[in-house]
Structure 1
Amino acid sequence: MSGVKMNNVIKQYGEIQVIHGIDLQIKDGEFCVFVGPSGCGKSTLLRMVAGLEETTSGQMTIGTRDVTTMDPSERGVAMVFQTYALYPHMTVKENMGFGLKMNGHPKSAIEAKVAEASGILKLDEYLDRKPAALSGGQRQRVSIGRAIVRGPEVFLFDEPLSNLDAELRVEMRVEIARLHKEIGATMIYVTHDQVEAMTLADKIVVLRLGRIEQVGSPLDLYRDPDNKFVAGFIGSPAMNFLDATSGEDGVTIQALKMTAPNPIGKTSKAVTAGLRPEHLEIDPAGDALRVDLVETLGGVSFAYLVSDTGEKIVIEERGDEPVSEGQRVGLKFDAKRLYLFDAETEQRLRA
C-alpha cells in the first residue's frame, strides 16, 4: 500500500480555477475523508487522484511514484462510485472479476481473488445472483468487492452511500470501517455528510471553494476549529453562532442577555460567539429566549429557541421532561466551552 501526496495541486477549466494550490499528505494506510458543501471541489480533487481529471499544475504522488500525468490504469487506484455501475447481465462473481479478466489474468487467480473479497464482504451466498436480485447495500458491497480484487495501492470512494436509506447508510459505514481495519489500505473518501466523516476518518480535510480550510483528526476539528466555517460544519446539530462583544469585563452576548467570562482576554471587539447545542443548558429562571419548537427523539431532544433579537439557537436536552413550546427560558454554559471568532475575518480567536 502507499500514501498520497499533493504539492500545490491546481485545477482549471479554461479561465476558471476550481482547485487552488492544494498541499496535502495522506499517510500509508490512513483513512482520509474529504468533506465540504456541494461545489467545494472534493469530488474534483478525488478524480484528480484517480486520473479522471487532469491536473493543471502541481504534483500528485502515490507512494514514491509521480503520477501527475499517468493514465488512470497505471496509478494503482480503484474507485467506488456513488452509483454502483454494475453490469446487469453479469452475476456478482462475474462483476467482481471482470476487471481482472479484461486485463488477462488467469481464471484460477481471478477466482481466488474474488473468493477472498467475497469472504471479506460476506457476499458468498450472492455470487451467482445478478444485481437486480440484490438490495442497494448488497450492490454497493459488490462495487467495493470489485475494487478489492484489483489489489490497488489506494481506494477512492466518491459518496458511496448517498443512494442508500438511513439504516443501510449506518450499516455500510460499519462495513467500510471494518474493511479498512481488516485490509489496512490507504483510503480516500468523499462525502458531504459530516457524520460519515466523523465516524470513519483518521484524518478529515475540510474544503471550501477549492481550498483547504483545515486538516486534522475528527476530534481535533470538533474541539479546536480554526474558523467559523469549520466550527459550523463539524458537529451535528451545527454550532450556534451569536453576535457578541469581547471586552476586558467579559463577552457580552446580546441574544442571551448575559456577559460570560472572556476566554481570550482581549479588549473591546465585535465577535461571533460559538456554542455547541450539547454544551448549553436550560436556565428555567431566565426569560431571554422563547421555545419555538421541540424535537423529541427518545433519549435526546432538540429545542429550537428564538431570542428577542431574532437569533435562533438549538440546544440538546437529555431527560424525560424537555422544555415546552412557547415557554420562555434562559441558558447557561461553562465559559470554557465558549468559542470566539472575529466578526469580520471569521477566524478563531484564541488566548
Structure 2
Amino acid sequence: MSGLTLQNVVKKFAEIQVIHGVDLDIDDGEFCVFVGPSGCGKSTLLRMIAGLEETTSGAISIGDRDVTNADPAERGVAMVFQTYALYPHMTVAENMGFGLKMNGHDKAEVKSKVSEASRILQLDDYLDRKPKALSGGQRQRVAIGRAIVRGPEVFLFDEPLSNLDAELRVEMRVEIARLHKEIGATMVYVTHDQVEAMTLADKIVVLRAGKIEQVGAPMHLYRDPDNKFVAGFIGSPAMNFCDATVENGSIEVPGFGLDALAPPQGMTAGTSKVTVGVRPQHIKINPDGSTHTVEHSESLGGVSYVYLRADSGDRLTVEAGETAPASNGDRVGLDIEIDRAMVFDGDTEARIR
C-alpha cells in the first residue's frame, strides 16, 4: 500500500476554477474522508486522484510515484462509485473477477483473489447469484469486492452509500470500517454526510468552494474548529449560532440569554462584532426561565430535540433526554456550558481563541 500527496492541485473547466491550490498528505494506510456541501469540489478532487479528470496544475503522487499525468489504469487505484455498475448477466463471482480476467490473469489466480475478497466481505453464499437477486447493500459489497481483487495501492470511494436506505447505510458503514481494519489499505472516501465522516475517518478534510477549510481527526474538528463553517458542518445537530456585541469588555449574546460572556484571549480590543456558537449538547433547558419559547420538540427514543425561539428572534436547537423537558408554547430559560461556547469573528468567520 502507499500514501497519497497532493501539491498545489488546481482544476479549471475552461475559465472556471473549481479546485484552488489544494495541498494534502494522506499517510499510508490512513482512512481519509473528503466532506463538504454539494458543489464544494470533493468528487472532482477524487476524480483527479483517479485520473478521470485532468489536473490543470500541481502534482499528485501515490507513494513515490508522480501520477499527475498517468492513465487511470497505471495509477494503482480502484474506485467504488455511488452506482454499483454491475454486469446484470454475470454472477457475483464473475463480476468481481472480470477486471482480472480481462487483464489476462489465469483462472486459478482470479478464483483465489475472488475467494479472498468474498471471505472479507462475507459474500461466500452469494457467489453464484446475479445482481438482481441481491439487496442494495449486497450489490455495494460486490462493487467493493471488485475493487479489492485488483489489489490497488489506494481505494477511492465516491459517496458509495447514497443509494441505500438508512438501515443499510449503518450496516455498510460498519462493513467499510471493518474492511479498512482488516486490509489496512489507504482509503479516500467522499461524502456529504458528516455522520459518515465522523464515524469512518482517521482524517477528515473539510472542503468549501474548492478550498480546504480544515484537516484533522474527527474529534479534533468537533472540539476545535478553525472557523464558523467547520463548526457548523461538523456535529449533528448543527451548532447554534447567535450574533453578539462587545461592550465594556464583555460579550452580550441576547440569543443565548447571555449578557456577560468573557471574551477569548485572542480577541483584539477593537472587535465589536462577533458570532457565538454553542452545540445543542451543551445547552440544557431551565423550566424556571422565560427567555425562550418552545416552538417544537422531537422524540427519537433515546434522545429528544427541542427547537426554541429566543426573544431576540434567534432560533436554537437543544438536545435533551428521552422526553422533552418542555411542551410547545412553554416559556423557558437556558443553562449553557459557558466554557464550551465558541466565538467567531463577525466579518471573517474565523475562530477567536
Q: Same fold (TM over 0.5)?
A: yes
Q: What amino acid is the match of 1:49?
A: I
Farther off after superposition, 257-266 or 300-309: 257-266
Structure 1 gap ranges (5+): none
Cα distance in structure 1, aligned partners of 2:324 and 2:24:
47
Answering whether residue 73 of structure 2 is matched by residue 70 of structure 1, we say no
2:286 to 240, 260, 283: 283
Change (3 A) 1:9 1:291: same
Q: What CA deviation, in whole Å up to 9, does each residue of 1:209-245 have, x standing for no partner?
A: 0000000000000000000000000000000000112
Aligned identity (percent) is: 69
Alignment correspondent of 1:222: 222
Change (3 A) 1:338 1:234: same
Deviation, 1:261, is: 3.3
Contact persistence 1:247–1:262 (CA under 8 A): no
Deviation, 1:321, is: 5.0
Answering whether residue 261 of structure 2 is matched by residue 261 of structure 1, we say yes
Cα distance in structure 2, aligned partners of 1:6 and 1:173:
26
Deviation, 1:309, is: 2.4
Q: Give me the TM-score of the superposition, normalised by structure 1.
A: 0.98
Answering whether residue 103 of structure 2 is matched by residue 100 of structure 1, we say no
Alignment correspondent of 1:346: 349
Cα distance in structure 2, aligned partners of 1:116 and 1:210:
38
Change (3 A) 1:327 1:116: same
Pairwise mapping of residues 58-137 of structure 1 onto structure 2 (< 5 A)? 58-137=58-137
Alignment correspondent of 2:329: 326
Answering whether residue 4 of structure 2 is matched by residue 4 of structure 1, we say yes
- SS of 2:37's partner is coil
Task: Please provide the CA RMSD for this pair.
Answer: 1.1
Contact persistence 1:246–1:262 (CA under 8 A): no
Cα distance in structure 2, aligned partners of 1:200 and 1:132:
29
Contact persistence 1:263–1:335 (CA under 8 A): no
Q: What amino acid is the match of 1:29?
A: G
Q: What CA deviation, in whole Å up to 9, does each residue of 1:245-301 have, x standing for no partner?
A: 234543211123322431514445211000000000111221111000000111110
Cα distance in structure 1, aligned partners of 2:56 and 2:89:
38
Cα distance in structure 1, aligned partners of 2:62 and 2:29:
12
1:273 to 266, 273, 276: 276
Cα distance in structure 2, aligned partners of 1:130 and 1:189:
27
Aligned residues: 350
Farther off after superposition, 18-27 or 311-320: 311-320
Alignment correspondent of 2:211: 211
Q: Give me the TM-score of the superposition, normalised by structure 2.
A: 0.97
Contact persistence 1:263–1:338 (CA under 8 A): no
- SS of 2:199's partner is helix
Answering whether residue 286 of structure 2 is matched by residue 297 of structure 1, we say no
